[in-house]
Structure 1
């Protein structure tokens, strides 16, 4: 007589196979999230606080609207220069997905390269515009580039179709003049102008993308953003924490720099 081992019920086998598939999927998803997280920090940290750099305290945060990718087309740059100046920039690539991320990476690193070469903000934007115009796609972007000089407190900036900077003191928030400059990637050789102001000790300047602006009229959205930082003291990190990064239901980025010396 041949005795056969007891057979496992079919339902139990199916359940075990299903559990293995689930565990395998969860493991793969965890690995993909870890890779995404690592790449995000290599490309652009979502949150970064830099204390006392060139006489400024700086807080910056980027929020990607796509929860799967965790990064988007919005970007920032904080770069100390050899002459002691500090370059700060914020930009917004049109569109979403991997194409926007690819363009964001290209613009961010190009901005760093042009700034390191010693070019002023208007020239940096002009070169970024040429870079996009010569690309094989129809990518457009907005950006604002500013330099800060610690010895004088001067901020010099240029804008390409970007929302105006906000200047905050202890009592009020003021919109700074928006220099002339169109969207990047549209016209082959447009003029970009510059504006300047003096940042006094205790005063802050906010650079941001339109994802920080609540949907509605453009001016009302900026006013609502300004209201969130009006009369708020403390470190820029605490002020940035008050901002609504879901206001525009889009990628969003905000960079606040406060003069401490």
Structure 2
């Protein structure tokens, strides 16, 4: 009759997560096995009883190992590994529920009688050690001959401790089978004392744990590899953040021009990383005062993440600043940046929009490369400026870029942004285009007292969502 331990139980959905449910099942099964062990194991002087006790001990140790693995899984190992542990637990439950014969096929037993020099081996022990049954069992003196050279001293020490000091045997060693294969064997045993208290014999149960140890090594090596990768990613992210902070304008909030300089524009900007990205992206914003009192405004989004993308962004932004200071207009400037990326040894693509503002005439000149057009807010309404022709930077050599012009008025507000600001899972399900999400804020933006208040309104409305990527936004308010 099957044991009550393995009686069918009604299926119940786990109250916690999948891993917690596995841990609960493992602990319950371990308690059941331990309880049955105490109820059914025979007397210590009975070879069958000793053999049963050793098998139950192995089962408990195995479940302890499984519980430790599941605890590690709950602490943060990849969730897909849960399926593997679930399969292992199901297989173990099936094996433990099977009859005694199935257990015998995995474990061998032996007893050495020190008084008569008789040795008895189970059939399974011959299979584990790869020994021909016609050759008969090995004596204690012969056993080290099949043990891996480096482990012979370990076996000798365990046997000596058992025979001389009466200590139980519990250890592992490697054996070399006649076919040359090296296997790992776990040996558990105890001395059997006679009426005088002297050791009369020694029994042991041996189990081939080669596959188990191989799996444990694989888990350990995978964990170490994962930890090294996580350390590398943290280091790369830190370096990318430091480089981004060194390249982007060193200000948060309103841009402050050098003392004594004219301030025709009130400017504020904000850069926000993705909520899901492990590595920092290469979105950028820039505001630079040019010779003659003109102002350069730009935002862009370079493909990729991490150090490679950030270094390309630094190169691109440095080139943009240098050409702007040299007086190159936005359309031609975009063409030069395109050529720079197209000929770079490290291929990359980038979207960008570049604006040049002349305060004396209030004329804004801009060009764009596959990037959302600047938004203009005036008189309580907002609209995107005309979309100009211009391919992605680095997409094709020799591309030309259309240039647009617009005369601004005092109180006008320009908003430049990367598409990560509006590209969210909510926006993807919505019929509204990205520009509509920003122009809907027209009343709040035009009523704001300064650029910082405009920026705060944009970030509060759009910057806190479940964005799919990094996001940068730059706001410029015409003062006079």
TM-score surpassing 0.5?
yes
CA distance in 1, matches of 2:405, 2:311: 31
CA distance in 1, matches of 2:307, 2:271: 16
Q: 1:39 to 1:154 in 2, by over 3 A?
A: same
Task: Give the superposition deviation at 1:38.
Answer: 5.2
Question: Please, what TM-score do these two structures have when normalized by structure 1?
Answer: 0.80
Counterpart in the other structure of 2:439: 226
Structure 1, unaligned runs of 5 or more: 1-27
Offset from partner CA, 1:47-106 (integer Å, 9 cap, x none):
34215754110011111227765x521011111111221111111001222221111111
Counterpart in the other structure of 2:477: 258
Task: Give the superposition deviation at 1:34.
Answer: 8.4
Q: 1:127 to 1:48 in 2, by over 3 A?
A: farther
Q: Is 1:238 the equivalent of 2:442? A: no
CA RMSD in angstroms comes to: 2.5
Counterpart in the other structure of 1:49: 254
Matched-pair contact (CA < 8 Å) for 1:157–1:195: yes
CA distance in 1, matches of 2:240, 2:369: 30
CA distance in 2, matches of 1:149, 1:75: 22
Matched-pair contact (CA < 8 Å) for 2:421–2:471: yes
Task: Give the superposition deviation at 1:213.
Answer: 1.6
Matched-pair contact (CA < 8 Å) for 1:86–1:148: yes
* Secondary structure of the corresponding residue to residue 135 of structure 1: coil
Q: 1:163 to 1:37 in 2, by over 3 A?
A: closer
Which protein has the larger Cα radius of gyration, Structure 1 or Structure 2?
Answer: 2
Structure 2, unaligned runs of 5 or more: 1-230
CA distance in 1, matches of 2:241, 2:305: 18
CA distance in 1, matches of 2:307, 2:443: 36
Between the two proteins, the alignment pairs up a number of residues equal to 231
Matched-pair contact (CA < 8 Å) for 1:240–1:256: yes
CA distance in 1, matches of 2:349, 2:336: 14
Task: Give the superposition deviation at 1:228.
Answer: 2.7
Counterpart in the other structure of 2:411: 202
Runs of 4 or more consecutive aligned structure 1 residues displaced over 3 Å after TM superposition: 32-40, 51-54, 66-69
Matched-pair contact (CA < 8 Å) for 2:444–2:457: no
Matched-pair contact (CA < 8 Å) for 1:246–1:252: no
- Report which structure shows greater RCO (CA 8 Å, sep ≥6): 1
* Secondary structure of the corresponding residue to residue 254 of structure 1: strand
Matched-pair contact (CA < 8 Å) for 1:158–1:179: yes
Q: Is 1:81 the equivalent of 2:294? A: no
Q: 1:218 to 1:47 in 2, by over 3 A?
A: farther
Higher percent of residues as helix: 2
Counterpart in the other structure of 1:186: 395
Task: Give the superposition deviation at 1:242.
Answer: 1.9
CA distance in 1, matches of 2:316, 2:268: 21
Q: Write the mapping of 1:126-165 to structure 2, written as runs, cut at 5 A.
A: 126-165=335-374
CA distance in 1, matches of 2:371, 2:401: 12
Q: 1:103 to 1:46 in 2, by over 3 A?
A: farther
